[in-house]
Structure 1
């Protein structure tokens, strides 16, 4: 009874005060009974395992065999917990003092390092009330020696069954606490976001296709030129747009898994704040570091969820690595490497979202965490304000090239008679891309419709300098010449247009009219 009391009393203390948990191992002694008490504790990616083995009597050769079997058990445990490293303490508890041979067998293997496991061996002599183990072993393992020593001379008054029930109650409360952390909210918004993304994709498909640059611009894709010209809502709308079905499908899968877990931990409101602001910061990263790209997708917001998980790991490091930590870091690492080397992937949006997610998570904080992290909260607020301030200054102070796809929007505006928008777009394009004849042509068309033929003629001539074989430019110059009552010049440009394109019917008809 003393032997059993000692085992459970030490186990109770380690569970109650040192964060250990009982672990069941399919391991039996010669009598067929389970061997001893097994406890495990996780510290980030490392594990500490304590194995308390009761021994009433054992032969030296059996002791050596038992020590070797311990290594097999350790390998099995390490595979089960997916740990990178484990400190494995085997403490044999003897009812009667062990023989010198037994003492020597344990001492020879007092410490051994193998692969990812550090083995420590020792024994407790209940008869002589002493512990046979190397000095500073407990310190190296990271657990106190006091519980092991205390119960040698102060046996517990409780029965082993009572102690076991107490341990069960402690672990039950721990499980309930963990469940409350992982199930604080319900993933309602996650499903709503997936549905809304799919709806926007369908609308874009019926409007001309989600891969059409003009459709993307019209639905609010990230476009630097328009953002710096006051369309700040383009920092939000791209979060809900996707380019092609595969893009939508992959992001929907990511939102489904990451979103559910994040919303359960943070609750719906905090989850939505993290998702949106991380997505905005991701788009700001893309705006400043990839200003010439036309951007859309929930990737920045999704990386924000990764950032929220990193903050969760900062608050609950042991729980994080014991549960989802290794998987989250592995998936995040793979995605970051993929973002670096895959074409047409906006790494700046991803990194911006990741940083933004961590910052916002630190501000809203996890609702179940004990004690508010005021230092990191205030620091994160200041960093977020700095990001907003610098971004606002950059957006209002600089002109961004933007993507060349904005010419499609300019052409659409010209066809609809929105000359103000067309002028703004093509004036920007001829300055940023002076060697593109089409931009000069469209800008000339715009100012011509505004009633400025002299200015239009200037840009038509510029287009011809870049591209002499441009029949439409010659045709429009002929129109301006007719307006100026310069028939000879008009005939010259019409003949030039037909020389370039003999099937240019409008030019042929106008030339015939002039000659007749």
Structure 2
């Protein structure tokens, strides 16, 4: 029997699996006697090693199997196929002269639904058709390999070289096609967004401060009370604001890497749609589930995670063979961090993640067909966003929203921006039934302070009396009442309030000085 005939059958078998059945070449050794193939057509996935070898003794076969199984473990780990089945198929011209049945398995189907199964099948050259048939059934081949009649071939070697070249070419073409999936476009939009975000950050820092709640709200942060008043554009402007340099740097790095990857895969126009739709849905989710002031590109960035997950859904094996596990691990860490840190807006993160996935389903991957799926996705997103907006606008604002007004007003009072602070305390006192202690009490106190500066002493007195009624131990309110009575010439009333302040806060030098002055005036 001619050795070349065995090699021809070996390469005809590989050719059929790669070129006809669409399996993927993982590795071909230098002499071509060993080819590793991944069957990624359906689950459970399989790694198949096809070798053309002859063994004199069973111990030689056993030694080869030990090395092969060890290599299969490493290979499955590298490919992210730990649960894949492994088949070691050896086509041989000469079987071992001694018994080897206890070493190899029969060419029978694996246990249905099993994973991590492995076996070796030794097929003598003259039994190839017979022993390959049950494997073809198990693997779900479209047809049995076609073998050229040896009577029709005068020179076998050119046929072998042709088959080998065709397999290698098919492997290179598939690798090239897979590579193109990651480099469809260039990250023009990503590189355009980064300087815009940086320029806005610098502009706000020059005018005010990016860590100031007042400044963030003034320049377009998401703030529920103002959205309720009609400022819907905050759903979009919030994407371009960042709270401090650390927030800016973290989001810029994430946008550079994640945005760049998504734009290369989807192309610039699709990426632009994914980015803004994910950011918008993230802002809407924040509006519904979080009443804190929020800003940043985090929702849109989590949308990039969603887009990569959508890519993984369409190209599952390619996704996990390349970046899949890294993307999932980083995503889990970020989500877990968001749940552990109270100040992080996880509503925007999760909303952006879902929005990015949904937006990717709407725009689709380049050259992806399925118009019905895209239209269905668009309809589902539209209905979902409408429902969230309806729920968000119909939901009553809680004290959490108005506490922001208090923080801004308090900040402005300390900065002696008295008139600017007034509008915020006025808004708080209009909805006093929604606020809880001690915020409401302090709001009355600050409002009285502002009115005193405006020389509206009667109004200031009224609000201070409300303050001490709500909190009799508020010694600053008693002291301010004393000052108002002092200005009005009501010295005994002023002394009574001052004595109450000293009872609560004994030894206060400012209080003692005013007491001496009042005693002098009364006596």
Matched, 1:23 2:19: no
C-alpha deviation, 1:104, in angstroms: 5.9
Residue range with higher mean Cα deviation, 206-215 or 265-274? 206-215
SS of 1:404's partner is helix
Instruction: Indicate if the aligned counterparts of 1:190 and 1:259 stay in contact, CA closer than 8 A.
Output: yes
User: How far 1:259 sits from its partner (Å)?
Assistant: 0.9
Report the Cα offset of residue 498 of structure 1: 7.9
After TM superposition, list the pairs within 5 Å mapping 1:164-179 onto structure 2: 164-179=164-179
Which whole-Å deviations, capped at 9, do the CAs of 1:332-373 have from their partners, x for residues lacking one? 22222222223422222221111111111111111232x125
Relative to structure 2, which stretch is displaced further, 262-271 or 3-12?
3-12
Seen in structure 2, the aligned counterparts of structure 1 residues 415 and 387 have a Cα distance that, compared at 3 Å, is farther
Match of 2:395 in 1: 398
Name the residue aligned to 1:378.
Answer: 375
Structure 2 Cα separation of the partners of residues 67 and 109 of structure 1: 16
SS class of match (1:123): strand
1:387 counterpart = 2:390:
no
Instruction: Tell me what 2:185 maps to.
Output: 185
Show the counterpart of 1:336: 335
Q: Is the 8 A contact 1:44 1:322 kept in 2?
A: no
Match of 2:104 in 1: 106
Distance 1:101 1:390, change over 3 A: same
Q: What is the SS of the residue equivalent to 1:51?
A: strand
Residues 1:397 and 1:127: Cα distance change in structure 2 (over 3 Å): closer
Farther-moved stretch of structure 1 (295-304 vs 461-470): 461-470
Alignment of 1:354 onto 2:353: yes
Asked if the contact 1:85/1:116 (under 8 Å) is kept, the reply is yes
Gaps of 5+ in 2: none
Partner residue in 2 for 1:159: 159
- Counterpart for residue 439 of structure 1: 443
Deviation at 1:261, TM superposition (A): 0.5
SS at match of 1:222: coil
> How far apart are the structure 1 equivalents of 2:152 and 2:173?
23
Give the secondary structure class of the aligned counterpart of 1:232: coil
Counterpart-to-counterpart distance in 2, 1:36 and 1:254: 43
8 Å Cα contact 2:275/2:304 also seen in 1: yes
Q: CA deviation at 1:11?
A: 1.6
**SS of the counterpart of 1:178?**
helix
Cα 1:265–1:138 change in 2 (3 A) is same
> In the alignment, is the contact (CA less than 8 A) between 1:313 and 1:325 conserved in 2?
yes
Contact 1:262 1:305 in 2 (8 A): yes
1:106 aligned counterpart, secondary structure = coil
What is the RMSD computed on CA atoms of the aligned residues? 4.0
Quote the residue 1:503 is aligned against.
510
SS of the residue 1:237 aligns to: helix
Could you tell me which residue of structure 2 aligns to residue 277 of structure 1?
277
CA displacement, residues 226-254 of structure 1 (integer Å, 9 cap, x when unaligned): 22222223222332233333332222222
Q: 1:419 to 1:208 in 2, by over 3 A?
A: closer
Work out whether 1:92 is the aligned partner of 2:96: no
The Cα of 1:379 is off from its aligned counterpart by 3.0
- Counterparts of 1:171 and 1:508, CA distance in 2: 94
State the distance in 2 between where 1:308 and 1:420 align.
Answer: 43
Task: Give, in angstroms, the shift of residue 312 of structure 1.
Answer: 1.0
Render the CA deviation track for 1:22-66: whole Å, top value 9, x for unaligned. Answer: 23355x8xxxx4533332234689642222221356333322222
Alpha-carbon distance in structure 2 between the residues aligned to 1:288 and 1:260: 30
Contact 2:56 2:95 in 1 (8 A): no
Is 1:13–2:16 an aligned residue pair? yes
Give the alignment's TM-score, normalised by structure 1: 0.82
* Residues 144-173 of structure 1, C-alpha deviations (whole Å, 9 max, x = no match): 28434x428689977122223323333333
Q: 1:104 to 1:492 in 2, by over 3 A?
A: closer
Q: 1:124 to 1:403 in 2, by over 3 A?
A: farther
The structure whose RCO (Cα within 8 Å, separation 6+) is larger is 1
Of 121-130 and 505-514, more deviation after overlay is shown by 505-514
| In 2, Cα distance between equivalents of 1:99 and 1:152 | 29
Q: What CA distance in whole angstroms lies between the structure 2 residues aligned with 1:127 and 1:302?
A: 60
CA distance in structure 2 between the partners assigned to 1:170 and 1:76 by the alignment: 25
TM-score (norm 2): 0.81
Q: 1:314 to 1:425 in 2, by over 3 A?
A: same
What's the CA shift string for 1:108-162, capped at 9, x where partnerless? Answer: 798999x9842222233333554447x855555x3428434x4286899771222
Aligned pairs for 1:276-355 (under 5 A) are 276-291=276-291, 293-355=292-354
Q: Match for residue 466 of structure 1?
A: 470
CA contact (8 A) 2:402 2:435 kept: no
- CA gap of 1:444–1:365, structure 2 versus 1, over 3 A, is farther
Query: In 1, are the aligned partners of 2:213 and 2:408 still within 8 Å (CA)?
Result: no
SS at match of 2:174: helix
3-state SS of 2:104 partner: helix
Is the CA contact (8 Å cut-off) linking 1:9 and 1:163 kept in structure 2?
Answer: yes
